[in-house]
Amino acid sequence: MSGTPVHPLETLFYPKNIAVVGASPRGGLAGGRWGGNTYIEGSIKLHFKGKIFPIHPTAKSILGLTAYKSVRDIPDEIDLVIFSVPFKVVLEVMADCAAKGVKYVHLFTAGFSETGREDLARLEKDLIRIARGAGIRVIGPNCMGLYCPEGGLAWTNEFPDRPGPVGLVSQSGQLAGMFIALAETKGVRFSKVVSYGNASDLQNHEFLEYLAQDDKTKYICTYVEGLKEGRAFFEQAKRISPVKPIIVYKGGVTEGGSRATQSHTASLAGSPELWKAMCRQAGLISVHSLEDMAVTLTTLMRLPLPQGRNVAVLGGAGGGSVTMTDMAEEAGLRVPHLTEKTIKAIEEFVPIQGSSAKNPLDIMGAFFGQGIDPFMALMDLLREDPNIDALIFNQPVDLITRVVGRSMVSLLPQLVKDSMKRMGKPIYVVLDRGRGGIEAEILRQELEDRYTEAGFATFATFPQAARVLAELDQYRRYLETRGAGSSGR
């Protein structure tokens, strides 16, 4: 918007020129799986619009780009410098950046406070002291840094070059990379991603603040191990969550995980109970795995928020219906009775023998061989039933394929999408491969891909669907308490 001040971190994600200290003339993955060259290759793939300056003590050129001995020798102004050098030389390189007037530094370099050694923790403090004295903001150390498709930044050339509406702030670089890959399989792309490691300078909440005002970001995900400024994080989240949903995955919730957190990023983890309470107060959508974060994200993007916790369950049989009911209620949902009017109407097209028109609905057999009319009739009934807020539709892929054929199964995604519009309530589709083995898993994956192409969310298991539904209903209730409403999602 014209006249709106530009956020300081805008330059970080859209630098005019960058330098990479520690690039190698040998090419490839110099220094291991990642290194200075992978940052250059990532930016080349993403068509970085400015100039890239490799820094090396003796090389004349690297990856076709003119190399310089020092940051001080670069003739142009530099917005961002990436450190991919041994920790023993970082003070010297930071001094070069200070002399050059660099705005931002990303420290890919590790081996500081996360080691637990006092001398290396002091080195980290000295490094940040030099940076602050020169007005340089620092990402890291011990992190992968930035991925911004529009800004031409990536730590690998394996990331998608097209942007999307999701921002990710992750303490872990490995998990950030895994989440980018996982999200891509579900048709999700990113506006901005940052891996921030030890967070000796720039903190999680500062990146959240930037994403909150970023027009390119509509949804925010964050992976957290420990917070150095917990109050600032939750206060920022509370300001953002009524406007943009924030999905948070907390690592280090067990005693062992807390110890691993300390050795990974030099952060201290809090108690699980306190974390859960704070998330609810701030309107954060809390998840417990990368997979849950991905499916919660796709659900937010593709389904309306549930308007309550009362669910109809479809797709079970006998004991399966019972156990699905248990799993739903263990997640905090309710599987209530349908109204007598609904039950009587269902019994008009469902044979009583071998079926149940009560909730959970054991009526899948009635749909086989009868076309879509009974299914659409059920959608109309559930739309009018005041006891139901959402439907969890368990689809046993292998069984359905055997009964109606593979070609008919491929029509399911569009049918369900049309059905949800007709019902006016969210449908949570569980793609259950059952006991079909590898072949059934292949079928399940093909069907998941078709749902993704249709712009629909799916779930790998019934408990996962129930957990996500419960969390999103909690978020809906939070929005209502803040007067934000829940329409338009």
pLDDT digits (tens, 9 = 90+) for 223-238: 999 898 999 999 999 9
Ramachandran region, residue 318 (left: φ > 0; alpha: ψ -120 to 50; beta: rest): left
- Residue 411: the pLDDT is 83
CA gap 426, 348 in Å, rounded? 25
Are the beta carbons of 427 and 421 closer than 8 angstroms? no
- Residue 432: the pLDDT is 85
- Residue 5: the pLDDT is 80
Average pLDDT, the chain: 89
Closest Cα to residue 224, out of 259, 255, 195? 195
Largest CA distance in the chain: 84
pLDDT tens for 167-181 read 999 999 999 999 999
CA gap 163, 254 in Å, rounded? 35
The band of 354, judged by pLDDT with boundaries at 50, 70 and 90, is low
Higher pLDDT, 399 or 54: 54
CATH 3.40.50.720 fits 10-144, yes or no: yes
Give start-end residues of each CATH 3.40.50.261 domain in the chain. Answer: 166-302, 311-481
- What percentage of the chain exceeds 70 in pLDDT? 89
Higher pLDDT, 351 or 354: 351
Closest Cα to residue 332, out of 297, 372, 286, 271? 286
CA gap 480, 476 in Å, rounded? 6
- Residue 26: the pLDDT is 80
CA gap 401, 390 in Å, rounded? 25
The residue-averaged pLDDT of 451-461 equals 94
- Residue 257: the pLDDT is 45
The band of 1, judged by pLDDT with boundaries at 50, 70 and 90, is very low
- Residue 420: the pLDDT is 94
Q: Is the pLDDT score of 487 beyond 50?
A: no
DSSP per-residue string spanning 220-271? EEEEES--SSHHHHHHHHHHHTTTS-EEEEE---SHHHHHHHHHHHS-----
- Residue 268: the pLDDT is 42
Per-position b or e across 442-463, b if 16+ CB within 10 A of its CB? ebbeebbebbbebebbbbbebb
Q: Is the pLDDT score of 31 beyond 50?
A: no
The residue-averaged pLDDT of 204-220 equals 98
pLDDT tens for 357-410 read 889 998 877 666 566 788 889 999 999 999 999 999 998 888 777 777 777 778
> Other C-beta atoms within 10 Å of 367: how many?
19
Any idea which of 3-17, 143-157, 230-244 has the lowest mean pLDDT? 3-17
Extract the tokens encoding 447: 């069907």
- Residue 266: the pLDDT is 45
- pTM reported for the whole predicted model: 0.91
- Residue 28: the pLDDT is 53
The band of 489, judged by pLDDT with boundaries at 50, 70 and 90, is very low
CA gap 246, 405 in Å, rounded? 40
Give start-end residues of each CATH 3.40.50.720 domain in the chain. Answer: 10-144
Closest Cα to residue 413, out of 456, 370, 471? 456
Any idea which of 18-32, 107-121, 265-279 has the lowest mean pLDDT? 265-279
The residue-averaged pLDDT of 213-222 equals 98
Hey, what CATH class is 311-481 in?
A: alpha beta
CA 53 to chain centre: 32
> Other C-beta atoms within 10 Å of 86: how many?
12
DSSP code at position 207? H
pLDDT tens for 258-287 read 444 444 444 445 578 888 899 999 999 999
- Residue 265: the pLDDT is 46
Interstrand relation of 61-62 and 65-66 (parallel, antiparallel or unpaired): antiparallel
Closest Cα to residue 397, out of 450, 349, 347? 450
Specify the fold of 166-302: Rossmann fold (3.40.50)
- Residue 317: the pLDDT is 58
